Structure 1
């Protein structure tokens, strides 16, 4: 709880991954991928309940072993490739509200194992102390700033993505910072999420996380990259 307001964490983790088959239970430093966000949430001083929404028995077993609850199996119509994630989140919220009322909902992705407990707690506190109704993780764009992006024309010629010429290039120190949604965490006031069915809207604020936390597991390359970060985590934090 945070000031007597209850916090529900939902971790969607369906089976049937195509980019990296079985990724949600693939061992990462000896721990299934889905167990990483569960561990981060378990150590939070504000989180009241951690629910994993899955349609896969093996993922359910791994989630329960890691300390989460799996009070239902996600219906097949909410676990297809084309199923909106918002439907699965609202389904989980509706199920959990049969037992208790929640004020904040936190979405953590099994594919974002670099999110830490301190990120969850800081973001919750920031949102709670603000006038906003949602907060999402963002990271500084350092290697692909829009100012340095181009698009190709049918002729094969390139032009600057947002217009302008190449004759007067801007120095990196002369351009405004740009940020990207990093998938590290999503938090919303429950009633707002029910109405908007989205974490992104006109009253959403950003939680700036360390840029290395934005990496997500979609492919084997991603998995190996994140594994390397975790093996050298003390060096990375410096």
Structure 2
């Protein structure tokens, strides 16, 4: 039997740092539409749903051919609501109408440069590794080995480790990766049981380029995404 994948695009109305960002126009499209279209182009996805508390975003999704069978209730629409709250609410809806899925694919609209190819490759990693979960990452812009906390008096004593002091060239340092927020996939049963996409067993990474990993949180992120998308479409 072929595993069934449910893609959830979470797109609530509120955003403190960049108000209305999910419906904000980015290179001629609402931000959320970039993720909707990337998901629609991925043949391995069986169902796509937009979970939102916004009538505006719901209309954008419906106009794109994506079902919005409900508006997200207030208790899972605020700043304290978690991804797992939204996943549980969505899975519960489908169970009530007699539909089940093997995997949940979580696609945040704040990653507009994540392509359908990225999504498909992450799903392929899931299958190749016989994994229960896959999470996307990218290389860190700067090695965290160059970072540390500061003492109250601003002293930099012991700021760098001896290893870094002896290997001042960045090329000599190990490569570090960070979460980029673009793709999370998890098998439904352990996801619900452990209440996290960071499953205890059989969890693997999918590495994306830093350019494709832009995560829009602030105005500057939005402008950078705008520049990169414009450059991509022109080339």
Change in Cα spacing, 1:59 to 1:219, as seen in structure 2 (3 Å) is same
CA contact (8 A) 1:151 1:160 kept: no
| Residue 170 of structure 1, CA deviation | 3.3
Structure 1 residue 116 corresponds to structure 2 residue 115:
yes
- Aligned partner of 1:202 in structure 2 is 200
Structure 1 residue 16 corresponds to structure 2 residue 14:
yes
Change in Cα spacing, 1:53 to 1:166, as seen in structure 2 (3 Å) is closer
Query: Which one of 38, 46, 49 corresponds to residue 48 of structure 1?
Result: 46
Q: Which runs of 5+ in 2 are unaligned?
A: none
- Aligned partner of 1:225 in structure 2 is 224
Change in Cα spacing, 1:156 to 1:101, as seen in structure 2 (3 Å) is same
Distance in structure 2 (CA, Å) of the matches to 1:21 and 1:187: 28
Change in Cα spacing, 1:184 to 1:46, as seen in structure 2 (3 Å) is same
**TM-score between the two structures when normalised by the length of structure 1:** 0.91
Distance in structure 2 (CA, Å) of the matches to 1:54 and 1:96: 16
CA contact (8 A) 2:111 2:214 kept: yes
Distance in structure 2 (CA, Å) of the matches to 1:49 and 1:150: 44
The 5 A counterparts of 1:167-178 are: 167-178=165-176
Q: How many pairs does the alignment contain?
A: 233
Distance in structure 2 (CA, Å) of the matches to 1:28 and 1:160: 44
| Residue 98 of structure 1, CA deviation | 2.8
- Say which SS state the counterpart of residue 158 (structure 1) adopts: coil
Distance in structure 1 (CA, Å) of the matches to 2:160 and 2:83: 31
CA contact (8 A) 1:112 1:216 kept: yes
The 5 A counterparts of 1:118-157 are: 118-141=117-140, 143-157=141-155
Distance in structure 1 (CA, Å) of the matches to 2:210 and 2:83: 24
CA contact (8 A) 1:160 1:166 kept: no
RMSD: 1.9
Cα displacement string for residues 34-91 of structure 1 (whole angstroms, at most 9, x for unaligned residues): 1111100101111111101111111111111122111111110001111122101111
Change in Cα spacing, 1:193 to 1:153, as seen in structure 2 (3 Å) is same
CA contact (8 A) 2:61 2:68 kept: yes
Query: Which one of 156, 159, 163 corresponds to residue 158 of structure 1?
Result: 156
- Aligned partner of 1:179 in structure 2 is 177
